[in-house]
Each structure stands twice: as structure tokens, then as C-alpha cells.
Structure 1
């Protein structure tokens, strides 16, 4: 992504922050780090650290998301970036990043006018010599798609792999449809024709089917492919765009594989991660 486009994404984020609607009224600090903060002319995603407070509504919705195995930060993430892509958010990670020696550049702190953040953003001058920052927590098994993985996911994968708990395969995912009539009907009935999730789910199920995976033992983006299937009968969870990633380790601990499609978009080439517990590999 060109630096100019990345800057435009951040300017729009500050515009939304200035409006102060929930949950952005909970934001306490925003910091930048990585390639963009160092002045690179080309960046992957803009790395943004967000520190925030909570309120009763946040606590309630986060608890609901946790119980459902969903990402509790979907609402905050969408409020910050709107329909834009190209931003990788780290929530409540400032101290952890600083402890790793990662330089953070303050963009905004509660109590300051947003114009101050705009001035700080303008002061981050381009540096042709900066180059892109190397990705940390990357192993050869997923190095080829490391730019598509949020940093928290890379950290999780690195830990699970180095502990010997899982094996990871990363690969491109061609558009395809499963031959199973039940699986095809599930996808067609669940998502609209132009939904990127429909495309991603169909490709994932076709891939799993080609490996010999029994699709009636697959859970797709939070729903069993076969209604009434017991949780313990699931062999593999298919996630589309990190929505349920926070539940991945629980499934892996139970001996169930995890199939992640990224990005779940309408046009971009699809890629996938197949994370398998070592006991099943």
C-alpha cells in the first residue's frame, strides 16, 4: 500500500474519532508503529495500538462475544476504520509492545484536540530509506502469507508451533464449490450471492472435501454444517477472516483442526491456514 493511501486511512480514522460516538468515546490513546511510523513509502498494513477504557455496554457485549466464541473487538475495529482495509489494530498492547523494545509514536491521547493528532500525523515525514519493517513471530510454515496475519495471530501461531502443539500449512485457496449437496445448500442458504463470506466458505469446504474430510463433521463460521451435530463430533472449524480466532486454541486443545480463510473478500485472491493439532498430524 502506498504511503499516501495509508495516510488517508489514518485521516479518516481521526475524523471518526473526533465524532466521539460509542465505542470510540472509550478510546484513551492511539499509537503508531512499524513501517508507516518509520516513514516507509510502501507499507503492508498500518500498525496501530489502541488503548481504551470500558463501560457497562462494552463489558456486556464483550462477554456475549466471548461466550459465543466471537471477536469482541469487531465493533471497535469497524468504528475506527469504517469500510477501509489496511490497518492492523493492537488493542491494549502498549505495555507489551514497549516491553519488547518496539518504538511507538503517539498519535492521540484523551484530552487532546484531534487537531493535535493531525499535526503529529503530518510530522511523520516519508523516508525512502526506511523500507518495510520485518515481521516478527514468523516461521517458515506461514512466512509466505505473514503480511496477511495480524500480529496477535502471528504470536499465537509462533507459540503453538514452537511448543510443538500444532502444525501449520499455508496455501493459496482457489475459488471452488463443494460437491456435497448439503454443504452447497448450507452456503447458498446462509449468505447472499455477492457476499465475500459465501465465496470464502465455499472455497474452504471444497478444499476440505478434496482432502477427504467428512463435511458433516465441520463447523462453518460458528454453525454446524449438519444441524444438531454435537460439539465433540466436530473435526474442523472453518473461520472466515479471523472472526472466531480467539476460540481457536480451545478447539485445538480438544483435538479439532482449524481452517482459516484470509482475507474473506469479494475479489482478492484467497489464502488459507490449516492448523492441525500434532496428535492429528
Structure 2
């Protein structure tokens, strides 16, 4: 990755990268880390923001603009972005803007091997988060855990099946929002079909920030993708008669659609709460 960065650092968007850090078991010297946890710090410019918004609207991950040139389809790296400001632990810096490749490699090879180093304990975890925690920000996990412990909500893990909605009208609505190749198109069909099979009218669903029908003043079923709107769930439960929220945590084109199903238990405890 460091060699790729050095070779293409004059190309956009790698020109925005200011720092590369590692953390986790790899940074502690583990001989067989589960993966390599990396943080890429970058500058946010108007051009970057514009392209990121465009990609997000299409259901694409804007950070692929960094991942593809840096990793080139290699697996085994868990890459976060501008994570330094959120982390409550030290990051080990390998490269800063202006450093040579040799300097970065020297820092890499200077990490002492520690055969006893294992995976660090993860904060704010529930069994339902296992395998999804890399896409659930720590702050959001803390809110969810607190809500479960306060018995204001219950959380279940749900695996959606690939399926298409039965209603042609709803299928057209989904098609107007996302192209067929979009991961969000796939997620929308799967979650709405899941509810259809339970006898729920899809027009009573609030789909990723929008009501399915403007003619239904109450939409008790909520879903969003990639945690885009999940922070609003307490408000939706308390103020909009919400009875269920299904969050497709990491929509993809082919991987399993693992979700969190959140159901309110005591809505009074959710008043004036925000999971941001």
C-alpha cells in the first residue's frame, strides 16, 4: 500500500492524503493479525465533497476512490478515513505528506514483533454487532448498547434473502431512486420484500430517508442503509409511531445482507434522544 501511495501520490485523489497510520494488533506486533487496521487522513476539498455526494447518491462507497489505487483489490486491510479525531487510543504513523517511501518503510519495519499480541478488546459491543462492528462507528454502538441496557429498545440480527418486491408500483419507485447495479437497489428490494411477506403494506414504509407514499401520514416501518439515517431512529419511534427499524449495515452487490432489527420497548425513554 505504501508503495502504491508513493507511486501515485501526485494523482488525484491521493494528492489529498496527508497521513497513513496503523493501529490494532498489527501495530502491536502480532505475527498473525486478523487484518491490518489502517487510518488514512485526507483533506476535504470542494471537488472531493462533490464527487463523494454524487457517489453516495448512486449507492456507491466514495472511499473506493482511495481504496482502489491504494489496495488494488488486495484483501486483509481494514481501512478507515480521518479516524484520528475519533480514536481514543494512539495511532502509529507510517507516512506523512512529504515523507519518502524509505522513511515510511523504515517505520513499518521498526514495529517490534510481539508473539503475545492479540486482538484488542472492542468497546461497546453486543453479540448482534459481531462481524458488523467495522461499519458501526463507536459512538453509534455506544448509543445502541445504552438503549438496550435501558430497555428502551431490543436489537436482533437479521439476514435478508435476495428477493424482489411483488408490487410493480413499488419496484418502479425503487428503480427511480437507484440503478439495478446499485447495492442500495438490492437492499431496498430485499428489505421491502421481507416486510411484504409479513403482510405489511410497503406504502407504510419510510425507505432510506423518504416515505414510500405521500398519502400515508404515518409510516411505522423504517429502513436505511449504511447507517445513513440510523441516528434518527429514536425520533422516528417516539414522534412518528415507529414500530420497527431495519438497518442494512453494509449493503453490497453480492455479500450477505446482514441487518440489525431494532424494535422500541419503551418509547418514553427515547424522547429527545439522538444517536448521532
**TM-score, normalisation: structure 1:** 0.69
**Is the Cα–Cα contact under 8 Å of residues 169 and 275 in structure 1 kept in the other structure?**
yes
Q: Distance in 1 between matches of 2:182 and 2:44?
A: 32
Q: CA RMSD in A?
A: 3.9
**Is the Cα–Cα contact under 8 Å of residues 138 and 154 in structure 1 kept in the other structure?**
no
Q: In the alignment, which residue of structure 2 is the partner of 1:210?
A: 197
Q: Would you say 1:78 and 2:64 are equivalent positions?
A: yes
Q: In the alignment, which residue of structure 1 is the partner of 2:179?
A: 191
- Aligned counterpart for 1:275 among listed residues 248, 259, 262: 262
Q: Distance in 2 between matches of 1:195 and 1:27?
A: 27
Q: In the alignment, which residue of structure 2 is the partner of 1:149?
A: 133
Q: In the alignment, which residue of structure 1 is the partner of 2:230?
A: 248
The structure whose Rg is larger is: 2
Residues paired across the two proteins, number: 254
Mark the runs of 5 or more structure 1 residues left unpaired by the alignment.
1-9
Q: Would you say 1:220 and 2:207 are equivalent positions?
A: yes
**Is the Cα–Cα contact under 8 Å of residues 37 and 79 in structure 2 kept in the other structure?**
yes
Deviations 1:181-205 (A, max 9, x none): 433444466432x554443332222
Distance 1:179 1:246, change over 3 A: closer
Q: Distance in 2 between matches of 1:12 and 1:175?
A: 39
Distance 1:111 1:120, change over 3 A: same
Report matched runs for 1:257-272 at 5 Å: 257-272=244-259
Q: In the alignment, which residue of structure 1 is the partner of 2:224?
A: 239
Q: In the alignment, which residue of structure 2 is the partner of 1:6?
A: none
**Is the Cα–Cα contact under 8 Å of residues 13 and 80 in structure 1 kept in the other structure?**
no
**Is the Cα–Cα contact under 8 Å of residues 253 and 277 in structure 1 kept in the other structure?**
no
**Is the Cα–Cα contact under 8 Å of residues 175 and 199 in structure 1 kept in the other structure?**
yes
Deviations 1:135-171 (A, max 9, x none): 222023x24x3x3222653431322331445432212
Q: Which has the higher helix share?
A: 1
Q: In the alignment, which residue of structure 2 is the partner of 1:120?
A: 107
Report matched runs for 1:60-139 at 5 Å: 74-75=61-62, 77-82=63-68, 84=73, 87-97=77-87, 100=88, 102-124=89-111, 129-139=116-126
Mark the runs of 5 or more structure 2 residues left unpaired by the alignment.
271-276
Q: In the alignment, which residue of structure 2 is the partner of 1:32?
A: 22
**Is the Cα–Cα contact under 8 Å of residues 201 and 220 in structure 1 kept in the other structure?**
yes
Distance 1:96 1:221, change over 3 A: closer
1:60 is displaced (CA, Å) by 6.4
SS at match of 1:254: helix
Q: Distance in 1 between matches of 2:188 and 2:3?
A: 31
Q: Distance in 1 between matches of 2:172 and 2:86?
A: 45
